[in-house]
C-alpha cells in the first residue's frame, strides 16, 4: 500500500536551507524508493496552530516500510543535520487507503 510523507516547514534561513538540505535530500529520497509529489513554498494555513509553516513537501513511497528505511537511514541522519537551526519541521507518514 503506498505511503506518503508530509513535511511542513517553518524556514528561518531559506537560502541556507535550500542550498544545503534542499540539495542533499532529493537524491536520497530517490535512492530509497521515494518520489516527490509536491515541494512548494506558500502554503496557506486555514485552521490550526502551524502558523509560519509555509513550506510543504509531500513524497510518495511504495509503502511505509520503504519510507521508514529512508527516515531511519544513516544517509538521512547525516543530511538531516544540514537543516539544524535553519528550519522547524512537522513530519507525518500515512498510508493511502
* 6-46 residue pLDDT tens: 999 999 999 999 999 999 999 999 999 999 999 999 999 99
**pTM confidence score:** 0.93
For the domain made up of 3-95, the CATH class stated in words is alpha beta
**What are the boundaries of each domain within the chain?**
3-95
DSSP H helices, 1-97, are: 14-19, 21-31, 64-71, 74-80
- pLDDT-derived band at 97 (thresholds 50, 70, 90) equals confident
* 47-71 residue pLDDT tens: 999 999 999 999 999 999 999 999 9
Q: Are 50 and 90 in contact (CB under 8 A)?
A: yes
Amino acid at each position: 500500500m503506498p505511503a506518503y510523507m508530509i513535511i511542513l516547514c517553518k524556514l528561518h534561513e531559506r537560502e541556507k536551507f535550500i542550498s544545503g538540505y534542499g540539495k542533499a535530500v532529493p537524491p536520497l529520497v530517490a535512492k530509497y524508493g521515494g518520489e516527490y509529489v509536491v515541494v512548494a513554498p506558500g502554503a496557506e494555513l486555514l485552521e490550526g496552530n502551524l502558523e509560519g509553516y509555509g513550506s510543504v513537501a509531500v513524497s510518495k513511497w511504495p509503502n511505509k516500510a520503504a519510507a521508514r528505511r529512508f527516515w531511519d537511514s544513516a544517509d538521512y541522519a547525516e543530511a538531516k543535520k544540514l537543516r539544524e537551526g535553519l528550519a522547524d519541521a512537522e513530519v507525518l507518514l500515512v498510508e493511502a487507503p
